[in-house]
Structure 1
Amino acid sequence: MTTDENLGKAAIFDLDGTLLDSMGVWDQIDAAFLAKRGITVPDDYMETVTAMQFREIARYTIDRFDLDDTEDGLMAEWDRMAHDAYTSIVQPKAHALDYLRYLKATGARLAVATTMPAGLRAPALGHAGMLDLFDAIVGVDDVGRGKEHPDIYLEAAARVGVPAHAATVFEDLLAGVQSAAGAGMHVWGVYDESSAQSWPAIQSIAQGVLDDFAQAPRPLA
Protein backbone atom coordinates (compact mmCIF):
# COMPACT_ATOMS: atom_id res chain seq x y z
CA MET A 1 0.00 0.00 0.00
CA THR A 2 1.32 3.45 -0.93
CA THR A 3 1.32 6.07 1.86
CA ASP A 4 3.13 9.33 2.55
CA GLU A 5 4.43 8.80 6.09
CA ASN A 6 8.07 9.26 5.03
CA LEU A 7 7.65 12.15 2.58
CA GLY A 8 10.43 14.71 2.90
CA LYS A 9 12.76 12.17 4.49
CA ALA A 10 15.66 10.14 3.14
CA ALA A 11 17.26 6.84 4.04
CA ILE A 12 20.94 6.49 3.13
CA PHE A 13 22.47 3.02 3.11
CA ASP A 14 25.97 1.65 3.09
CA LEU A 15 26.28 -1.48 0.94
CA ASP A 16 28.99 -3.86 2.16
CA GLY A 17 28.05 -5.24 5.56
CA THR A 18 24.86 -3.16 5.76
CA LEU A 19 22.45 -3.94 2.90
CA LEU A 20 24.62 -6.74 1.52
CA ASP A 21 26.00 -9.70 3.44
CA SER A 22 29.29 -9.28 1.65
CA MET A 23 32.14 -8.41 3.99
CA GLY A 24 33.31 -12.03 4.00
CA VAL A 25 33.84 -11.70 0.25
CA TRP A 26 36.48 -9.04 0.79
CA ASP A 27 38.13 -11.15 3.48
CA GLN A 28 38.44 -13.94 0.92
CA ILE A 29 39.68 -11.58 -1.79
CA ASP A 30 42.30 -10.09 0.50
CA ALA A 31 43.47 -13.52 1.64
CA ALA A 32 43.71 -14.86 -1.93
CA PHE A 33 45.32 -11.70 -3.30
CA LEU A 34 48.00 -11.51 -0.61
CA ALA A 35 48.57 -15.28 -0.58
CA LYS A 36 49.59 -15.08 -4.24
CA ARG A 37 52.33 -12.75 -3.07
CA GLY A 38 53.36 -14.92 -0.13
CA ILE A 39 51.74 -12.65 2.48
CA THR A 40 49.30 -13.50 5.28
CA VAL A 41 46.57 -10.92 5.93
CA PRO A 42 47.47 -8.97 9.11
CA ASP A 43 44.75 -8.81 11.77
CA ASP A 44 44.38 -5.03 11.46
CA TYR A 45 44.33 -4.80 7.65
CA MET A 46 40.57 -4.94 6.96
CA GLU A 47 39.70 -2.56 9.78
CA THR A 48 42.35 -0.11 8.56
CA VAL A 49 41.22 0.01 4.92
CA THR A 50 37.45 -0.39 5.20
CA ALA A 51 36.63 3.35 5.26
CA MET A 52 39.13 4.32 2.54
CA GLN A 53 38.60 5.17 -1.11
CA PHE A 54 39.46 2.28 -3.46
CA ARG A 55 42.59 3.92 -4.87
CA GLU A 56 43.67 4.90 -1.37
CA ILE A 57 43.41 1.22 -0.36
CA ALA A 58 45.56 0.23 -3.34
CA ARG A 59 48.18 2.84 -2.46
CA TYR A 60 48.17 1.81 1.21
CA THR A 61 48.46 -1.89 0.31
CA ILE A 62 51.39 -1.31 -2.05
CA ASP A 63 53.21 0.79 0.53
CA ARG A 64 52.50 -1.47 3.48
CA PHE A 65 53.63 -4.68 1.79
CA ASP A 66 56.26 -3.14 -0.50
CA LEU A 67 54.56 -4.55 -3.60
CA ASP A 68 55.68 -4.08 -7.20
CA ASP A 69 52.06 -3.66 -8.38
CA THR A 70 50.67 -0.40 -9.70
CA GLU A 71 47.54 1.14 -8.19
CA ASP A 72 45.58 0.61 -11.42
CA GLY A 73 46.77 -2.97 -11.74
CA LEU A 74 45.83 -3.74 -8.16
CA MET A 75 42.36 -2.25 -8.51
CA ALA A 76 41.74 -4.14 -11.77
CA GLU A 77 42.71 -7.42 -10.11
CA TRP A 78 40.39 -6.76 -7.16
CA ASP A 79 37.57 -5.79 -9.54
CA ARG A 80 37.88 -9.07 -11.42
CA MET A 81 37.91 -11.10 -8.21
CA ALA A 82 34.94 -9.25 -6.73
CA HIS A 83 32.68 -9.08 -9.78
CA ASP A 84 31.94 -12.79 -9.86
CA ALA A 85 31.13 -12.89 -6.15
CA TYR A 86 28.83 -9.87 -6.22
CA THR A 87 26.86 -11.14 -9.20
CA SER A 88 26.51 -14.76 -8.11
CA ILE A 89 27.10 -15.29 -4.37
CA VAL A 90 26.42 -12.16 -2.30
CA GLN A 91 22.89 -11.88 -0.87
CA PRO A 92 20.97 -9.08 0.89
CA LYS A 93 20.94 -8.86 4.67
CA ALA A 94 17.83 -10.28 6.34
CA HIS A 95 14.66 -8.38 5.34
CA ALA A 96 16.69 -5.61 3.68
CA LEU A 97 14.79 -5.81 0.40
CA ASP A 98 11.42 -5.76 2.18
CA TYR A 99 12.48 -2.67 4.12
CA LEU A 100 13.59 -0.82 1.00
CA ARG A 101 10.27 -1.56 -0.67
CA TYR A 102 8.41 -0.30 2.42
CA LEU A 103 10.41 2.94 2.43
CA LYS A 104 9.86 3.49 -1.28
CA ALA A 105 6.11 2.95 -0.91
CA THR A 106 5.89 5.42 1.97
CA GLY A 107 7.53 8.34 0.19
CA ALA A 108 11.12 8.18 1.41
CA ARG A 109 13.95 9.08 -0.92
CA LEU A 110 16.59 6.34 -1.03
CA ALA A 111 20.34 6.68 -1.53
CA VAL A 112 23.45 4.54 -1.36
CA ALA A 113 26.66 5.82 0.26
CA THR A 114 29.42 3.31 -0.34
CA THR A 115 33.14 2.67 -0.54
CA MET A 116 32.44 -0.03 -3.15
CA PRO A 117 34.19 0.54 -6.51
CA ALA A 118 31.99 2.19 -9.12
CA GLY A 119 32.03 -0.77 -11.47
CA LEU A 120 30.62 -3.13 -8.84
CA ARG A 121 27.74 -1.04 -7.51
CA ALA A 122 25.13 -1.58 -10.23
CA PRO A 123 25.92 -5.29 -10.72
CA ALA A 124 25.76 -5.95 -6.98
CA LEU A 125 22.51 -4.03 -6.52
CA GLY A 126 21.02 -5.64 -9.60
CA HIS A 127 21.84 -9.13 -8.35
CA ALA A 128 20.26 -8.26 -5.00
CA GLY A 129 17.08 -6.95 -6.70
CA MET A 130 17.63 -3.44 -5.31
CA LEU A 131 18.97 -1.34 -8.15
CA ASP A 132 15.66 0.21 -9.29
CA LEU A 133 14.72 1.24 -5.75
CA PHE A 134 17.40 3.91 -5.32
CA ASP A 135 17.19 7.56 -6.29
CA ALA A 136 20.95 8.18 -5.96
CA ILE A 137 24.15 6.17 -5.62
CA VAL A 138 27.19 7.96 -4.20
CA GLY A 139 30.70 6.60 -3.68
CA VAL A 140 33.62 7.94 -1.67
CA ASP A 141 35.37 8.53 -4.99
CA ASP A 142 32.62 11.03 -5.88
CA VAL A 143 33.44 13.23 -2.90
CA GLY A 144 37.18 12.62 -2.67
CA ARG A 145 37.26 11.60 0.99
CA GLY A 146 36.56 8.45 2.98
CA LYS A 147 33.81 7.75 5.47
CA GLU A 148 35.75 9.17 8.37
CA HIS A 149 34.41 12.44 6.93
CA PRO A 150 30.67 13.14 6.48
CA ASP A 151 30.97 14.37 2.87
CA ILE A 152 29.55 11.20 1.30
CA TYR A 153 26.42 11.23 3.48
CA LEU A 154 25.85 14.95 2.95
CA GLU A 155 26.25 14.51 -0.80
CA ALA A 156 23.77 11.61 -0.81
CA ALA A 157 21.23 13.73 1.08
CA ALA A 158 21.76 16.64 -1.29
CA ARG A 159 21.27 14.44 -4.35
CA VAL A 160 17.87 13.28 -3.12
CA GLY A 161 16.86 16.77 -2.05
CA VAL A 162 16.68 16.56 1.73
CA PRO A 163 18.58 18.41 4.48
CA ALA A 164 20.93 16.47 6.74
CA HIS A 165 18.53 16.48 9.69
CA ALA A 166 15.85 14.75 7.56
CA ALA A 167 18.16 11.86 6.59
CA THR A 168 18.64 8.53 8.37
CA VAL A 169 21.90 6.71 7.70
CA PHE A 170 22.22 2.93 8.02
CA GLU A 171 25.85 1.92 8.49
CA ASP A 172 27.92 -0.94 9.92
CA LEU A 173 31.18 0.99 10.01
CA LEU A 174 32.12 2.90 13.15
CA ALA A 175 33.85 5.71 11.24
CA GLY A 176 30.70 6.23 9.18
CA VAL A 177 28.42 6.15 12.21
CA GLN A 178 30.60 8.77 13.88
CA SER A 179 30.81 11.13 10.91
CA ALA A 180 27.12 10.89 9.95
CA ALA A 181 26.04 11.50 13.56
CA GLY A 182 28.45 14.42 13.77
CA ALA A 183 26.80 15.93 10.69
CA GLY A 184 23.42 16.00 12.44
CA MET A 185 21.91 12.96 10.74
CA HIS A 186 19.90 10.19 12.36
CA VAL A 187 22.02 7.03 12.43
CA TRP A 188 21.18 3.37 12.81
CA GLY A 189 24.01 0.89 13.35
CA VAL A 190 23.76 -2.37 11.44
CA TYR A 191 25.53 -5.34 12.97
CA ASP A 192 28.08 -7.14 10.83
CA GLU A 193 30.63 -9.68 11.98
CA SER A 194 33.42 -7.65 10.41
CA SER A 195 32.67 -4.75 12.77
CA ALA A 196 32.09 -6.84 15.90
CA GLN A 197 34.94 -5.20 17.80
CA SER A 198 33.42 -1.77 17.15
CA TRP A 199 29.86 -2.78 18.06
CA PRO A 200 29.86 -1.39 21.63
CA ALA A 201 31.05 1.98 20.31
CA ILE A 202 28.47 1.91 17.50
CA GLN A 203 25.71 1.15 20.02
CA SER A 204 26.77 4.11 22.16
CA ILE A 205 26.57 6.58 19.25
CA ALA A 206 23.72 5.37 17.03
CA GLN A 207 20.10 6.33 17.59
CA GLY A 208 19.21 2.66 17.16
CA VAL A 209 20.82 -0.63 16.14
CA LEU A 210 19.69 -3.72 14.29
CA ASP A 211 20.90 -7.08 13.07
CA ASP A 212 17.83 -7.68 10.89
CA PHE A 213 15.98 -5.04 8.88
CA ALA A 214 12.71 -6.28 10.37
CA GLN A 215 13.92 -4.20 13.37
CA ALA A 216 14.44 -1.01 11.32
CA PRO A 217 12.43 2.15 12.12
CA ARG A 218 8.90 2.53 10.70
CA PRO A 219 8.44 5.41 9.98
CA LEU A 220 11.84 7.10 9.74
CA ALA A 221 12.76 9.64 12.40
Structure 2
Amino acid sequence: MIVNNNPIQGVIFDMDGTLVDSIPFHLQAWMIFLEKNGVSIREEDFHAQNHGTLQEMIMRFFPNEKSADRIYDLGEEKEETFRNLYKPHIEEVSGVTSFLEALRDQNKSIHLATMGEQDNIDYTLDLIEIRSYFHSLTGGHEVKNGKPDPEIFLKALEKAQIPAENAIVFEDSSGGIRAAKGAGIPVYGIATTHTPQELEGMGCQKAFLNFDEALNYFF
Protein backbone atom coordinates (compact mmCIF):
# COMPACT_ATOMS: atom_id res chain seq x y z
CA MET A 1 0.00 0.00 0.00
CA ILE A 2 1.41 3.35 -1.11
CA VAL A 3 -0.32 6.66 -0.31
CA ASN A 4 1.14 10.03 -1.31
CA ASN A 5 4.37 8.21 -2.26
CA ASN A 6 4.70 6.86 1.30
CA PRO A 7 4.54 3.15 2.19
CA ILE A 8 1.69 2.46 4.60
CA GLN A 9 2.74 0.60 7.73
CA GLY A 10 -0.49 0.86 9.71
CA VAL A 11 -4.20 1.59 9.39
CA ILE A 12 -6.31 3.34 12.04
CA PHE A 13 -10.06 2.82 12.09
CA ASP A 14 -12.81 4.83 13.68
CA MET A 15 -15.52 2.53 15.04
CA ASP A 16 -19.08 3.93 15.08
CA GLY A 17 -20.19 4.69 11.54
CA THR A 18 -17.03 3.13 10.11
CA LEU A 19 -16.73 -0.49 11.23
CA VAL A 20 -20.43 -0.64 12.16
CA ASP A 21 -23.35 1.47 10.95
CA SER A 22 -24.38 2.41 14.48
CA ILE A 23 -24.89 6.18 14.28
CA PRO A 24 -28.71 6.06 13.91
CA PHE A 25 -28.90 3.92 17.05
CA HIS A 26 -26.68 6.33 18.98
CA LEU A 27 -29.02 9.16 17.96
CA GLN A 28 -32.07 7.19 19.06
CA ALA A 29 -30.39 6.32 22.36
CA TRP A 30 -29.52 9.97 23.02
CA MET A 31 -33.11 11.05 22.36
CA ILE A 32 -34.51 8.40 24.71
CA PHE A 33 -31.92 9.10 27.40
CA LEU A 34 -32.27 12.89 27.29
CA GLU A 35 -36.07 12.80 27.39
CA LYS A 36 -35.97 10.38 30.32
CA ASN A 37 -33.70 12.80 32.18
CA GLY A 38 -35.76 15.90 31.48
CA VAL A 39 -33.84 17.39 28.54
CA SER A 40 -35.96 18.36 25.55
CA ILE A 41 -34.16 18.83 22.23
CA ARG A 42 -35.07 18.36 18.58
CA GLU A 43 -33.03 15.91 16.51
CA GLU A 44 -31.95 18.66 14.12
CA ASP A 45 -30.63 20.71 17.07
CA PHE A 46 -28.92 17.70 18.64
CA HIS A 47 -26.55 17.24 15.69
CA ALA A 48 -24.80 20.55 16.42
CA GLN A 49 -24.05 19.29 19.95
CA ASN A 50 -22.94 15.81 18.90
CA HIS A 51 -19.16 16.06 19.21
CA GLY A 52 -16.45 15.52 21.79
CA THR A 53 -16.03 12.90 24.48
CA LEU A 54 -18.98 11.31 26.26
CA GLN A 55 -18.15 13.33 29.37
CA GLU A 56 -18.06 16.56 27.35
CA MET A 57 -21.47 15.79 25.88
CA ILE A 58 -23.03 14.94 29.25
CA MET A 59 -21.69 18.20 30.69
CA ARG A 60 -23.04 20.08 27.66
CA PHE A 61 -26.56 18.73 28.17
CA PHE A 62 -26.45 18.91 31.98
CA PRO A 63 -24.51 22.16 32.63
CA ASN A 64 -25.69 22.42 36.24
CA GLU A 65 -24.45 18.95 37.14
CA LYS A 66 -21.21 19.33 39.12
CA SER A 67 -20.80 15.84 40.59
CA ALA A 68 -18.20 13.80 38.70
CA ASP A 69 -19.87 10.59 39.87
CA ARG A 70 -23.25 11.75 38.59
CA ILE A 71 -21.77 12.78 35.23
CA TYR A 72 -20.17 9.34 34.96
CA ASP A 73 -23.44 7.59 35.86
CA LEU A 74 -25.38 9.59 33.27
CA GLY A 75 -22.84 8.63 30.61
CA GLU A 76 -23.12 4.98 31.58
CA GLU A 77 -26.92 5.20 31.37
CA LYS A 78 -26.78 6.64 27.87
CA GLU A 79 -24.35 3.99 26.64
CA GLU A 80 -26.34 1.15 28.18
CA THR A 81 -29.43 2.51 26.41
CA PHE A 82 -27.48 2.41 23.13
CA ARG A 83 -26.18 -1.13 23.62
CA ASN A 84 -29.64 -2.47 24.42
CA LEU A 85 -31.09 -0.79 21.32
CA TYR A 86 -28.35 -1.86 18.94
CA LYS A 87 -27.67 -5.45 20.01
CA PRO A 88 -30.42 -7.04 17.86
CA HIS A 89 -29.16 -5.15 14.80
CA ILE A 90 -25.37 -5.06 15.07
CA GLU A 91 -23.36 -6.17 12.06
CA GLU A 92 -20.14 -5.06 10.41
CA VAL A 93 -20.14 -2.66 7.50
CA SER A 94 -19.88 -4.90 4.46
CA GLY A 95 -16.34 -6.11 3.82
CA VAL A 96 -14.78 -5.19 7.18
CA THR A 97 -13.47 -8.66 8.04
CA SER A 98 -12.15 -9.26 4.53
CA PHE A 99 -10.34 -5.92 4.59
CA LEU A 100 -8.80 -6.66 7.99
CA GLU A 101 -7.69 -10.07 6.71
CA ALA A 102 -6.01 -8.45 3.71
CA LEU A 103 -4.18 -6.00 5.98
CA ARG A 104 -3.02 -8.81 8.23
CA ASP A 105 -1.83 -10.83 5.24
CA GLN A 106 0.38 -7.87 4.29
CA ASN A 107 1.68 -7.49 7.87
CA LYS A 108 0.13 -4.06 8.35
CA SER A 109 -0.51 -2.96 11.92
CA ILE A 110 -4.18 -2.35 12.69
CA HIS A 111 -5.47 0.15 15.26
CA LEU A 112 -8.71 1.60 16.60
CA ALA A 113 -9.29 5.26 17.50
CA THR A 114 -12.88 5.87 18.59
CA MET A 115 -14.65 8.31 20.86
CA GLY A 116 -16.52 5.29 22.20
CA GLU A 117 -15.89 4.25 25.79
CA GLN A 118 -14.28 0.93 26.75
CA ASP A 119 -17.58 -0.90 27.31
CA ASN A 120 -18.78 0.05 23.83
CA ILE A 121 -15.44 -0.93 22.28
CA ASP A 122 -15.62 -4.36 23.93
CA TYR A 123 -19.28 -4.75 23.00
CA THR A 124 -18.71 -3.92 19.32
CA LEU A 125 -15.45 -5.74 18.63
CA ASP A 126 -16.60 -8.89 20.42
CA LEU A 127 -20.09 -9.06 18.90
CA ILE A 128 -18.77 -8.75 15.34
CA GLU A 129 -15.75 -10.91 16.25
CA ILE A 130 -12.90 -8.71 15.01
CA ARG A 131 -10.97 -7.94 18.22
CA SER A 132 -8.11 -10.28 17.33
CA TYR A 133 -7.10 -8.18 14.31
CA PHE A 134 -6.24 -5.07 16.34
CA HIS A 135 -2.80 -4.28 17.69
CA SER A 136 -4.02 -1.34 19.78
CA LEU A 137 -7.29 0.23 20.91
CA THR A 138 -7.71 3.90 21.82
CA GLY A 139 -11.02 5.12 23.23
CA GLY A 140 -12.65 8.36 24.24
CA HIS A 141 -11.97 7.63 27.90
CA GLU A 142 -8.22 8.01 27.20
CA VAL A 143 -8.28 11.59 25.91
CA LYS A 144 -9.21 14.99 27.29
CA ASN A 145 -10.31 16.45 23.97
CA GLY A 146 -12.71 14.73 21.61
CA LYS A 147 -12.77 14.84 17.84
CA PRO A 148 -12.33 17.16 15.91
CA ASP A 149 -9.30 17.67 18.15
CA PRO A 150 -6.48 15.42 16.82
CA GLU A 151 -5.54 14.11 20.29
CA ILE A 152 -7.03 10.65 19.83
CA PHE A 153 -5.20 10.05 16.54
CA LEU A 154 -1.93 11.34 17.95
CA LYS A 155 -2.34 8.88 20.82
CA ALA A 156 -3.11 6.07 18.36
CA LEU A 157 0.04 6.90 16.39
CA GLU A 158 2.05 6.85 19.61
CA LYS A 159 0.73 3.39 20.45
CA ALA A 160 1.34 2.18 16.90
CA GLN A 161 4.85 3.68 16.88
CA ILE A 162 4.54 4.76 13.26
CA PRO A 163 4.82 8.25 11.69
CA ALA A 164 1.66 9.97 10.49
CA GLU A 165 2.80 9.82 6.86
CA ASN A 166 3.05 6.02 7.07
CA ALA A 167 -0.52 5.58 8.33
CA ILE A 168 -4.01 6.06 6.96
CA VAL A 169 -7.31 6.57 8.75
CA PHE A 170 -10.82 5.38 7.89
CA GLU A 171 -13.55 7.74 9.10
CA ASP A 172 -17.21 8.56 8.47
CA SER A 173 -17.70 12.03 9.97
CA SER A 174 -16.60 15.62 9.54
CA GLY A 175 -15.18 15.77 13.07
CA GLY A 176 -13.22 12.57 12.59
CA ILE A 177 -11.84 13.70 9.25
CA ARG A 178 -10.72 17.02 10.73
CA ALA A 179 -9.12 15.21 13.66
CA ALA A 180 -7.15 12.83 11.44
CA LYS A 181 -6.01 15.61 9.13
CA GLY A 182 -5.03 17.65 12.18
CA ALA A 183 -2.77 14.76 13.18
CA GLY A 184 -1.25 14.78 9.69
CA ILE A 185 -2.73 11.43 8.61
CA PRO A 186 -4.32 10.86 5.18
CA VAL A 187 -8.01 10.02 5.56
CA TYR A 188 -10.34 7.73 3.62
CA GLY A 189 -14.10 7.79 4.06
CA ILE A 190 -16.78 5.17 4.63
CA ALA A 191 -20.16 6.46 3.47
CA THR A 192 -22.60 5.44 6.18
CA THR A 193 -23.62 8.91 7.38
CA HIS A 194 -22.59 10.98 4.33
CA THR A 195 -22.26 10.35 0.61
CA PRO A 196 -18.82 9.61 -0.84
CA GLN A 197 -18.87 13.00 -2.54
CA GLU A 198 -19.64 14.77 0.75
CA LEU A 199 -16.82 12.92 2.53
CA GLU A 200 -14.35 13.82 -0.20
CA GLY A 201 -15.50 17.43 0.07
CA MET A 202 -14.71 17.28 3.79
CA GLY A 203 -11.13 16.26 3.06
CA CYS A 204 -11.05 12.51 2.41
CA GLN A 205 -8.61 11.44 -0.28
CA LYS A 206 -11.28 9.01 -1.46
CA ALA A 207 -14.50 7.65 0.01
CA PHE A 208 -16.15 4.25 -0.37
CA LEU A 209 -19.64 2.91 0.16
CA ASN A 210 -18.18 0.01 2.16
CA PHE A 211 -15.00 -1.99 2.70
CA ASP A 212 -15.70 -4.23 -0.29
CA GLU A 213 -14.98 -1.17 -2.43
CA ALA A 214 -11.96 -0.25 -0.30
CA LEU A 215 -10.59 -3.78 -0.68
CA ASN A 216 -10.82 -3.57 -4.47
CA TYR A 217 -9.17 -0.14 -4.44
CA PHE A 218 -6.21 -0.94 -2.17
CA PHE A 219 -5.61 -4.59 -3.00
Match of 2:113 in 1: 113
Match of 2:151 in 1: 151
Output one character per residue of 1:186-218: Cα deviation in whole Å (capped at 9) or x when no partner: 11011123x46x962643511111111112142
Give TM-score, length-normalised by structure 2: 0.85
Deviates more, 1:151-160 or 1:68-77: 68-77
1:178-193 aligned at under 5 Å gives the runs: 178-193=178-193
| 1:67 CA displacement | 7.8
Question: Is the CA contact (8 Å cut-off) linking 2:31 and 2:43 kept in structure 1?
Answer: no
Match of 2:47 in 1: 46
- For the pair 1:32 / 2:32, whether they are aligned, the reply is yes
Match of 2:102 in 1: 102
Q: Distance in 1 between matches of 2:71 and 2:127?
A: 28
Q: Distance in 2 between matches of 1:28 and 1:62?
A: 18
Q: Distance in 1 between matches of 2:98 and 2:43?
A: 37
- For the pair 1:211 / 2:212, whether they are aligned, the reply is no
* SS across alignment from 1:157: helix
Q: Distance in 2 between matches of 1:173 and 1:59?
A: 22
Match of 2:60 in 1: 60
Change over 3 Å in CA distance of 1:199–1:85 after alignment to 2: farther
Question: Is the CA contact (8 Å cut-off) linking 2:189 and 2:199 kept in structure 1?
Answer: no
Q: Identity rate of aligned residues, in percent?
A: 23
Equivalences, count: 210
* SS across alignment from 1:11: strand
Q: Distance in 2 between matches of 1:31 and 1:44?
A: 11
Deviates more, 1:11-20 or 1:173-182: 173-182
Match of 1:200 in 2: 198
Output one character per residue of 1:137-160: Cα deviation in whole Å (capped at 9) or x when no partner: 001331211111112112112212
- 1:80 maps to a residue whose letter is E
Q: Distance in 1 between matches of 2:58 and 2:197?
A: 27
Q: Distance in 1 between matches of 2:29 and 2:197?
A: 24
- 1:212 maps to a residue whose letter is N
| 1:100 CA displacement | 1.1
> Structure 2, unaligned stretches of length 5 or more?
none
Output one character per residue of 1:92-120: Cα deviation in whole Å (capped at 9) or x when no partner: 11111211111111111011100111111
Match of 2:76 in 1: 76
Match of 2:161 in 1: 161
* SS across alignment from 2:15: coil
Q: Could you say what the CA RMSD is over the residues aligned between the two structures, in angstroms?
A: 2.5
* SS across alignment from 2:101: helix
Q: Distance in 1 between matches of 2:90 and 2:209?
A: 17
Q: Distance in 1 between matches of 2:173 and 2:39?
A: 29
| 1:129 CA displacement | 1.2
Question: Is the CA contact (8 Å cut-off) linking 2:49 and 2:57 kept in structure 1?
Answer: no
Output one character per residue of 1:21-80: Cα deviation in whole Å (capped at 9) or x when no partner: 11111121122123333724341313422x3111111111113xx789931231121132
- For the pair 1:129 / 2:129, whether they are aligned, the reply is yes
Change over 3 Å in CA distance of 1:172–1:120 after alignment to 2: same
| 1:134 CA displacement | 0.4
Give TM-score, length-normalised by structure 1: 0.84
Change over 3 Å in CA distance of 1:35–1:26 after alignment to 2: same
- 1:62 maps to a residue whose letter is F
